[in-house]
Amino acid sequence: MSISDPIPSQTIIDTLFVIAPQFYTTDPAKLANYNTMIGLLRCQVNERVLSCCGVLAYVYLLAHWLQLQTNPQTGVATNLSEGELSIGLAISPDSSILDATQYGRLYKDLIKRTVIGSTVTNLPPNFAVINACCCQG
């Protein structure tokens, strides 16, 4: 696989099952859902910049959204009342929804340790990325 080839969805799903085994499934409908979500996440992960850490970025984002999907109240509201209308938020208004789950926080940490800087989004299309992996010890 060259650096310009997208990471296969099956690689992302296999890694998801290792990192977040609570999402393991053989149910074809759930696997189709996972593949759809990966397709949607592809615009949020720059595989060229992340190099071999791209798989982890996808897995953390996918697990984050799956956890929110499993428990929609995670990170949004901790309690709701009807009488005098009271809503308690689990994250502050100035926080990111990524702070709502441990997988979202892992994703943010990975990006902080990997991304070159604020000019990454302004790189020309022919920018050569060094294939040095940040994730190996």
On whether the CB atoms of residues 110 and 52 are closer than 8 A, the answer is no
Helix (H, G, I), strand (E, B) or coil at 88: strand
Is residue 127 in a domain?
no
How far apart, in whole angstroms, are the C-alpha atoms of residue 117 and residue 49?
Answer: 11
Phi, psi of 80 (to 5 degrees): -135, 145
Containing domain of residue 46, as a range? 9-122
Is residue 136 in a domain?
no
Is residue 3 in a domain?
no
Q: Per residue in 45-78, pLDDT tens?
A: 887 777 778 899 999 999 999 988 887 655 555 5
How far apart, in whole angstroms, are the C-alpha atoms of residue 72 and residue 65?
Answer: 10
- When divided into structural domains, the chain yields a total of 1
How far apart, in whole angstroms, are the C-alpha atoms of residue 109 and residue 94?
Answer: 18
The pLDDT score that the predictor gives to residue 43 is: 85
- Residue predicted with more confidence, 69 or 8: 8
Is residue 59 in a domain?
yes
Is residue 134 in a domain?
no
Is residue 87 in a domain?
yes
Written as six digits, the tokens of 4 are 């310009």
Mean pLDDT value across the chain:
76
How far apart, in whole angstroms, are the C-alpha atoms of residue 68 and residue 104?
Answer: 10
Q: Per residue in 29-48, pLDDT tens?
A: 999 999 999 999 988 888 77
Is residue 2 in a domain?
no
Length of the chain: 137
**pLDDT for residue 92 is more than 60:** no
- Reported as a pLDDT band with limits 50, 70 and 90, residue 133 is very low
Angle between helices 9-19 and 54-70 (to 10 degrees): 60
Helix (H, G, I), strand (E, B) or coil at 80: strand
- CA proximity to 23, closest of 54, 64, 57: 64
Is residue 131 in a domain?
no
Which span out of 1-5, 26-30, 90-94, 103-107 was modeled with the highest average pLDDT?
Answer: 26-30
